[in-house]
Amino acid sequence: MAARTGSLATALVAGLGLAAAVPGCTAEGSVSLHFDVPDDPALRPGGAASLTLVTQIDADAPRATTTQIGADGQVDLGDLPVADEVWLSAELRSAQGQLVGYGRASAPLAILADADVEATIPVRRPFAYIAGAGNRLVSVDASLGRSAGYQTQVALPGSAEVVADVAGTDLATVSAQGALAYVSTATHGASSLPGAQLGPSPTDAIATPDGAYLLVAHAGTSPQVSVIEVATGQVKVAPTPMAADRVATTRGSDGGWWGVALLGRATVDTGCPGSKLAVFRLTDPETATVIDAGAGISDVGGDARSGLIVLADRCGNRLLRFDPVSQAIDQAAIVDGIKAPTALAVLDGHVWAVGHDRLTTTSPEIPDGVIDAWLVVASADLDGDPSQVMELPPIVERVLAENADYPDQDLVQDLHANWVEADDLAISPSGDLLALTLSTILHGDALGDDGFGGVLIPRVDVTTQEYWLFDPSTTVTNQRIRTSCVADEGPCGAFCLVPDWSCLPDIDASVSGTFAPSGIAVLFGAR
């Protein structure tokens, strides 16, 4: 008995000792983050002077802390919030405030009050990638403006019809024949992720923000959406009754990842035939359901934060919300009054869209009836904040007269666009830059004088394809690459002054020569 009493006393002391030790258990923890940047100086963010760490918990407003970077790359991040799920992203900026690097953790971090936590965040230069140039991607560094080397090429083992950002660390490319391959963003070489053979005729691709799944839309004879488990390369298929033109993904209100494919993309501004939406869980794409969108939809974009898909109603001149879980389209427009939206991108509860508009006339002086065409940019919060719609200046292309090469003067004419249309849109991870590809059609009527011998300057038709990096806050186009420009002249008279015209090289040419962009991706960005 005495022995037992002694044991009990020991036990009670042990119990009190535990209580006293509680502060030890709750002693202040710490967070140590490794911002992983590429070794290659050409890919490593250059000139970073400060690091801004953005933390976000649930739906709270994000918190940003900026700190100067020490000479040895060390940064003091200040206090980080204790929470089960903290989303972290990092921005590297130059002394002038230019974004030179961006990174984001692919999963939330559990920050504990009483434990030391370590995590790695990949950080990359703010690259955009353009597909369609054959066996290479054109990479465009947004941090370099138009300075030397802002365009480079990434060699690929095969052609790339579409490209998608995979959590910032990899790029997925799919050839016209359906070969899926990955490129490491740390090396611009082959990635260790397993490739796969998909169906042919890819039209679009998007990865979930965590990089777990890749979705590829297909047209052609086997319309479908491929859903690839990125880590394993396992492929499942969502069958679609017609070509899947665009695809988007979001984390639904049920917590699962969902995919939505646009079938029958609207290609006209009036009288759009109705589109359809194929809706499926990424874990179970075979059971996709197809619903009528009730309007001609030209693009879809997913927002993982809200669980919504945004639809661009081209003929209705508006943007709508679609909940893939309930499969309901909210008819209350997020943006109402954006003319002919053709491309959109959604990031963190905010949508950007690009449409277009024209000024027409019945004046006989303008036989084709179109004076100008321009892009329209709209933005809005998905929660219904007032939207903004902004018209950009009309598109004007300057063409140069050939065979009229005077020693001290050139002969040029300005062609005003008859048509401009955004084909694709991506938004930078910081949410302040838009990367878009677009097509223009420009037309100049013939100048003639019947008394002087008929046509003096021929009709000139020009078609162009371009890449823009556009800052909507300043309406400045920071980068503009003309990937294609074709001039076609009509017949000219006996006294023709200038029969031949060519595109003026006043816009940056592509380092990959002439090609038609077929897809764009922005590292850590959104579509």
Partner 1 sequence: MGRDGAASRAIAATIAALVAIAGVPAAWADGGGKGKPGAGAASPDDAEARRKVAVLEYRAGSTALPGLDRRIAGLLKQQTSLTVIDADEARKDYGARLDAAVVDCGGEPACIAKIGAKVGAREVVLVGVSEFGDVILTLQRIDVRRGKVAVRIAEALAEDASPDDAALVGYLRRVMPENDFLRFGTIKVTANLAGAQVFLGKDPKGKTPIAPLRVHAPATYQIRLTKDGYVPFTARVQVPPDGDIEVDARLTREGGGAWYTRWWVAAIAGVVIAGGVGAGYLLTREPPTAVPGTGTID
When the beta carbons of 4 and 149 are compared against partner 1, the nearer one is 4
When the beta carbons of 255 and 364 are compared against partner 1, the nearer one is 255
Q: How far apart are CA 6 and CA 23, in angstroms?
A: 27
Compute the C-alpha angle 139/140/146, nearest 5°: 145
Q: How far apart are CA 16 and CA 491, in angstroms?
A: 100
- Is-contact 158 181, C-beta < 8 A? yes
- Closest separation between CB of residue 302 and partner 1, Å? 19
- Closest separation between CB of residue 383 and partner 1, Å? 9
- Closest separation between CB of residue 5 and partner 1, Å? 10
- Closest separation between CB of residue 289 and partner 1, Å? 25
Would you mind telling me the total number of residues written for the chain in this entry?
A: 527
When the beta carbons of 6 and 367 are compared against partner 1, the nearer one is 6
- Closest separation between CB of residue 354 and partner 1, Å? 24
Q: How far apart are CA 270 and CA 253, in angstroms?
A: 34
- Say how many CA atoms lie within 13 Å of 150 toward its Cβ: 19
When the beta carbons of 112 and 504 are compared against partner 1, the nearer one is 112
Backbone angles phi, psi at 23, to 5 degrees: -55, -30
- Closest separation between CB of residue 329 and partner 1, Å? 25
β-pair type (388-391, 284-292): unpaired
- Closest separation between CB of residue 376 and partner 1, Å? 24
Q: How far apart are CA 523 and CA 45, in angstroms?
A: 13
- Closest separation between CB of residue 433 and partner 1, Å? 16
Q: State the CB neighbour count (10 A cutoff) for residue 175.
A: 21
Distance of CA 518 to the CA centre of its chain: 13
When the beta carbons of 63 and 146 are compared against partner 1, the nearer one is 63
- Closest separation between CB of residue 69 and partner 1, Å? 6
- Closest separation between CB of residue 503 and partner 1, Å? 40
User: Sign of the C-alpha dihedral, residues 361, 366, 367, 373?
Assistant: negative
- E strand residue ranges, 186-336: 196-197, 202-207, 213-218, 224-229, 234-239, 244-251, 257-263, 276-281, 284-292, 297-303, 308-313, 318-323, 328-336
When the beta carbons of 59 and 148 are compared against partner 1, the nearer one is 59
When the beta carbons of 66 and 361 are compared against partner 1, the nearer one is 66
Paired tokens of 285: 């794409």
The DSSP secondary-structure symbol of 44 reads S
- Is-contact 225 247, C-beta < 8 A? yes
- Closest separation between CB of residue 352 and partner 1, Å? 17
- Which burial class, exposed, middle or buried, applies to 349 when counting CB atoms under 10 A from its CB (0-12, 13-18, 19+)? middle
Q: Which residues, listed in sequence order, are joined to residue 117 by a DSSP beta bridge?
A: 31
When the beta carbons of 80 and 238 are compared against partner 1, the nearer one is 80
Q: State the CB neighbour count (10 A cutoff) for residue 365.
A: 6
When the beta carbons of 97 and 451 are compared against partner 1, the nearer one is 97
Compute the C-alpha angle 148/154/157, nearest 5°: 160
- Is-contact 395 373, C-beta < 8 A? yes
Which of 136, 145, 160 lies closest to 469, judged by CA?
A: 145
- Closest separation between CB of residue 335 and partner 1, Å? 17
When the beta carbons of 385 and 506 are compared against partner 1, the nearer one is 385
- Is-contact 48 92, C-beta < 8 A? yes
Q: State the CB neighbour count (10 A cutoff) for residue 10.
A: 10
- Closest separation between CB of residue 328 and partner 1, Å? 21
Amino acid at 36: D
- Is-contact 337 350, C-beta < 8 A? no
When the beta carbons of 75 and 304 are compared against partner 1, the nearer one is 75
User: Sign of the C-alpha dihedral, residues 515, 516, 522, 523?
Assistant: negative
Identify the residue whose tokens are 């790359």: 73
When the beta carbons of 6 and 274 are compared against partner 1, the nearer one is 6
Q: State the CB neighbour count (10 A cutoff) for residue 310.
A: 27
Residues that bind partner 1 (CB under 8 A): 3-4, 6-8, 10-12, 14-16, 18-20, 22-23, 25-26, 28-37, 48, 51, 53, 57-64, 69, 73-85, 92, 111-114, 123, 255, 385
When the beta carbons of 97 and 364 are compared against partner 1, the nearer one is 97
Q: Distances in Å between the alpha carbon of 219 and those of 86, 98, 233, 249, 342?
A: 39, 40, 21, 18, 19
